[in-house]
Amino acid sequence: MVILFFFFGYQKWWAYEADRLDPFISNGPLIWWLYPAFGHQGASWFLGVAEWTFGALIFAGFWSKRLGILGALGSTGTFIATVTIIPFMPDGWDAAAGGFPAMTGNVPFLMKDVVLLAVSLYLLKQDAARVLRPEA
């Protein structure tokens, strides 16, 4: 997760990625507000900073249980936000193949986030268990 957040966060600093994010942010029911709040490139930078922050917190979780929980919460929120885009992505299901579940366009890219959401929830569960476990 740390490596993924590093690489995905790095991409957000460049114009090519800001342009690539248009259909995702524009159709995201939880992230549509990024463009009015930060503008086109600013939204990309915001996401990059968030991804680096969550990755750093997950990494810090090796030493600090509470920081790990913050990172896992941020990661979970990130992937909830991206998974909720799937039903709203225009032309996401190939009509020629009968529609759902025949993915097309940007939906296949977003499907990886279903797995990453599960990983984030697992990390959150593990970190919470570590905090709640009595010290021996």
Instruction: Name every residue whose Cβ is closer than 8 Å to that of residue 6 and which is 6 or more positions away in sequence.
Output: 51, 52, 55
Phi-psi region of 91 (alpha: psi -120 to 50; beta: other; left: phi over 0): left
Task: Classify 93 as helix, strand or coil.
Answer: strand
What is the pLDDT at residue 102?
A: 87
What is the pLDDT at residue 136?
A: 53
User: In this structure, how many other beta carbons lie within 10 angstroms of the beta carbon of residue 132?
Assistant: 8
What is the pLDDT at residue 69?
A: 96
Cα 67 to Cα 56: distance, rounded to the nearest angstrom: 9
pTM for the model = 0.90
Axis-axis angle for helices 34-60, 2-11 (nearest 10): 150
Cα 78 to Cα 41: distance, rounded to the nearest angstrom: 18
Cα 65 to Cα 63: distance, rounded to the nearest angstrom: 7
What tokens does 76 get?
């979970």
In degrees, to the nearest 5, what angle opens at C-alpha 46 toward C-alphas 78 and 18?
A: 95
Task: Going residue by residue through the chain, which has 136 residues, state the pLDDT in tens, using 9 for 90 and above.
Answer: 999 999 999 999 999 999 999 999 999 999 999 999 999 999 999 999 999 999 999 999 999 999 999 999 999 999 999 999 999 999 888 888 888 888 998 999 999 999 999 999 999 999 999 888 876 5
